[in-house]
Amino acid sequence: MARTQSPPLLLKCGVYLLKCNDCPAVYIGECRRSFKVRISDHINAFFDNKPARSAFVKHLIEEDHIPKAVEILHVEGKNQKRTALESIEIAEHMVHHQYNVINRTNINDLLIKNVFTRSPLYWQTNL
């Protein structure tokens, strides 16, 4: 029996977005492991009813919602760049999109959002 292979993109690491099907909630995450492994973590937490393992799964379980889509936002192997991209995407989605970002925020995310929205480039970009 032939074994199906994952698409090459799923074997990379980087920044991803999870969308809720029933509301505008999104979760933006980064992974040093492959997208396939990290997204499987969220799926397993959902089916195992383990909301403590994922802010996105916590939202789905508490609101009785279902997941909609996964998007790969950035492929990036370098840790510092990957975490910076994650924080920038969180800030950008909080400001520019009609999403409810459900990430557990930390002081760095709020700092980046503050810097991002005050930058003169912010008003000139399509981010």
pLDDT for res 127? 44
Sorted by where each starts, the structural domains of the chain and their CATH numbers stand as 8-124 (3.40.1440)
Look at residue 120 and tell me whether its pLDDT is greater than 60: no
What is the value of pTM for the model shown?
A: 0.78
What pLDDT is recorded for position 114? 60
Q: Which of 79, 103, 120 is nearest to 26 (CA)?
A: 103
Long-range contacts, 83-92 (Cβ 8 Å, 24+): 83/30, 85/14, 85/15, 85/30, 86/15, 86/28, 86/29, 86/30, 87/112, 88/112, 88/116, 89/15, 89/17, 89/28, 90/28, 91/116, 91/117, 92/116, 92/127
Specify the pLDDT at position 103: 84
Of 3-17, 62-76, 111-125, minimum mean pLDDT range:
111-125
State how far the Cα of 60 lies from the Cα of 67, in Å rounded to an integer.
7
Judge whether 48 and 56 are in contact, CB under 8 Å.
no
